[in-house]
Structure 1
Amino acid sequence: MTSTPTSTPSRTERVPHPDLFRQFPLSLARRALPNDPRPTRAQYAHYLTLTRVGDPPADNLVTWIQTQSGGQGRRLFEQAVEHGIESIDNPPAELVEFFEAMEAMPVWLDRDRIDIAQRATSRLPIWNVISFLYLGFAMSYLSSPANQVLIRTADLHKRAPRRIVETAVWWMEVTKPGGLDRYSVGFTSTARVRLTHAYMRAGMKKHPEWDSESWGDPVNQAQKACEYTPATTVASAPAAACAGKVTV
């Protein structure tokens, strides 16, 4: 039985280029790309649905924590982070759901490739980190909806330097060898970051200025993709420049 090869979507099936990419110099740069970077209309429609999706396991956990008195919910969360969900007698369903999601291994995950990438990253010079700090992270501010959250939490101006440092430290922890292992600093800090973002979503949804029709959910999945893509691309550029020069 022969299979029909998947055809490349025609130009008419793709969304138009944004105005910014029709202007020089980006208009020239996009012509140099080997493939058309524009999504199909179906892909774009799916992307828009992600503006309404936050982080359900973390959001459910925050809702539960806020019902607990005396900080008991946060204490159980920290116990599970540091010692595992199995260290808690009769843990609440919200806590179990969150850590099952954190510890689940996707079927497509290739631990060998992750190990190689982490060892290679750990051997890159300091200017790789600097590029991530000053270029990649700055590019993440191009997301207008994400900035709406930062403006309303005073993070855009008052905490920008601290936020850059915190993000860089997190990035270095998760990209070091073993940085994604269950009890590594990279893993535990990622769990806390997810909870922090869930608190931000819960607060922003109640903010009188939040325009969900224009911006979707605060700190949604589409926004995170827009932030991570430029940041990781810029951070990876020095690695590409070192191709063939780094031994693992």
Structure 2
Amino acid sequence: MTTYCPGTPHYPRLARRAHDQRSQLAALYGAIDFDAEPHRFTTDPTVESTLPRWVAERAPILADDRLVELIRTATLLGDVIADPYAALAQRYTVAELIDMLRRACRSGIDSVVDAPPELRTFLAAMEATPPWIDLRLVEEGARYSRLATALLAPFLARGAFLATFLNTYAALPMALTGALSGRRAARRVNETAGFFTVTTLPGALTRHGAGFEAAAMVRLMHSLVRYHALTHPEQWDHRVYGVPVPQIDQVPAGLVDIYLLAMSAARRGRTEFGARERAMLEFSRYRCFLLGLPEELLPTTATGVIELLHARAALLRDGFDDATCGALVRSTMSAYLRPGRSWFDRAADAVERSWSRAFFLGFCGGNRKQAAGMSVGFGIADAARVLVTAPFILGRFLAVLAAGRWSVLRDRVDEYTIGLVRARLTTYGVPEFTAEVRDPVSAHRHTP
């Protein structure tokens, strides 16, 4: 039976899940009023949101009670499964928490001596695939997603990463960790790219696959960020920012590729996904489930994906603070991501930066002045690099995509893309997923 939460007629289960955070983990969530809207959330039509006018109209979203309720609730939703385990940082070091989780992923929960019940709950929740995930499509979707991961993602990943720093309210948790300052910026970008890349390998998201373990590690890191932010209220004002790393802020990264597919479908007059797109969607939905996202934030149609992403942007207060967002953007753009310093590595680095700037420019609607104001300039040299390399980068992608549609070539294409994915992982370095979660008190001070 569904538990009803007053004032939430559309998503009572999700609202109850958010409210339960206070009773289940009072040490972290006891001070948060889950019936109050944080400053970052706004339905005021006179207040600027992060939804660009050239993307969609905001008014219909503000008038949609269902969407408003969904985003409001998800803005206050952390991870009721992983957060209690992260809160054990009072008794264990971060390294010990990581080690126990890694051993449980690789050898089972019984391999962890005196495993805390919070770890048992965490792992059991990830193992319990819900009925709303179609596992039959996940492996097929991974195969389709592997193509873009191998051939396009290396040139666009940094640009997509930058897009997550365009809003002060959403970017502050990353700034508090100090994880993107100085030389650590390159490691964070490569680890993030490595995570999304490794999950596309065959069988990676199965119970003992590398992607399953990587998802568990990333999920723990998110929870550790919440733990450290909420245990330092002098640095984290929940009345302004809500819950650190809320579930709604994980949607853009988890579904950005699906959003692009959905927009492409919409331009062709379709509201539903085709068979290939549906498989890719299910792969992304399952990956998001492993990261802790609830069913309500994982639509199954092109229209639903577009609505969700646009609603999040329409209800997130606009704000680009140079001390937070600008610093994150600059450190990420200045990071050198290649494993060596040979002439090829330096040339590849220059090409990748230009493509990332071009991709980021798309988030600004092609407005170069706006992008430059966010510390991402796109000059003549960048345009030249993109123009010269586009026939190879895009041409190869389209050629391999076409070849994969022929059954006689499908296995060879898959072998080729798997080899490229493994090569990309070597370039990114072995993902450690051991982000240093520093004390936010000494890491950053910010006032809205």
Scaled by the length of structure 2, what TM-score is found? 0.44
Q: Does 1:246 align with 2:270?
A: no
In structure 1, C-alpha distance between the alignment counterparts of 2:179 and 2:150, rounded to whole Å: 26
Q: Please, which moves more after superposition, 100-109 or 38-47?
A: 38-47
Give yes or no for contact 1:62–1:199 (8 Å, CA) kept in 2.
yes
Structure 2: which 5+ runs fail to align? 1-42, 265-275, 278-396, 411-448
In structure 1, C-alpha distance between the alignment counterparts of 2:221 and 2:200, rounded to whole Å: 21
The residue type paired with residue 185 of structure 2 is: A
Q: Does 1:92 align with 2:116?
A: yes
String of CA shifts for 1:20-75, please: whole Å, max 9, x gaps.
6564xx1xx538xxxx7778223212221222221121111122353248976554
1:171 aligned to 165, 188, 196, which one?
Answer: 196
| Number of the residue aligned with 1:162 | 187
Distance 1:98 1:22, change over 3 A: closer
In the TM superposition, residue 124 of structure 1 has moved relative to its aligned partner by 4.0
Distance 1:155 1:72, change over 3 A: closer
| Number of the residue aligned with 2:239 | 213
Give yes or no for contact 2:149–2:197 (8 Å, CA) kept in 1.
no
The residue type paired with residue 246 of structure 2 is: N
2:107 aligned to 71, 83, 96, which one?
Answer: 83
2:138 aligned to 101, 114, 126, which one?
Answer: 114
| Number of the residue aligned with 1:6 | none
In the TM superposition, residue 155 of structure 1 has moved relative to its aligned partner by 2.7
| Number of the residue aligned with 1:140 | 164
Give yes or no for contact 2:75–2:243 (8 Å, CA) kept in 1.
yes
Structure 1: which 5+ runs fail to align? 1-13
In structure 2, C-alpha distance between the alignment counterparts of 1:70 and 1:209, rounded to whole Å: 21
In structure 1, C-alpha distance between the alignment counterparts of 2:51 and 2:113, rounded to whole Å: 55
Distance 1:38 1:63, change over 3 A: same
In structure 2, C-alpha distance between the alignment counterparts of 1:160 and 1:125, rounded to whole Å: 21
Count of residues paired in the alignment: 227
Distance 1:195 1:39, change over 3 A: farther
Q: Please, which moves more after superposition, 137-146 or 95-104?
A: 137-146
Give the alignment's Cα RMSD to 1 decimal: 3.5
| Number of the residue aligned with 2:219 | 194
Q: Does 1:128 align with 2:174?
A: no
In structure 2, C-alpha distance between the alignment counterparts of 1:69 and 1:20, rounded to whole Å: 38
In structure 1, C-alpha distance between the alignment counterparts of 2:50 and 2:102, rounded to whole Å: 45
Distance 1:156 1:40, change over 3 A: farther
In the TM superposition, residue 117 of structure 1 has moved relative to its aligned partner by 1.3
| Number of the residue aligned with 2:309 | none
The residue type paired with residue 213 of structure 2 is: T
In structure 1, C-alpha distance between the alignment counterparts of 2:246 and 2:154, rounded to whole Å: 27
Q: Does 1:104 align with 2:120?
A: no
Give yes or no for contact 1:201–1:219 (8 Å, CA) kept in 2.
yes
The residue type paired with residue 63 of structure 1 is: A
SS of corresponding position for 2:206: coil
In the TM superposition, residue 234 of structure 1 has moved relative to its aligned partner by 5.3
In structure 2, C-alpha distance between the alignment counterparts of 1:127 and 1:179, rounded to whole Å: 19
Give yes or no for contact 2:61–2:68 (8 Å, CA) kept in 1.
no
String of CA shifts for 1:158-211, please: whole Å, max 9, x gaps.
333222111111001112221101111111111111111111111111332212
| Number of the residue aligned with 2:228 | 203
SS of corresponding position for 1:57: coil
Q: Does 1:228 align with 2:269?
A: no
Give yes or no for contact 1:118–1:175 (8 Å, CA) kept in 2.
yes
In structure 2, C-alpha distance between the alignment counterparts of 1:127 and 1:22, rounded to whole Å: 29
Distance 1:71 1:56, change over 3 A: same
Distance 1:71 1:166, change over 3 A: closer
Give yes or no for contact 1:132–1:234 (8 Å, CA) kept in 2.
no
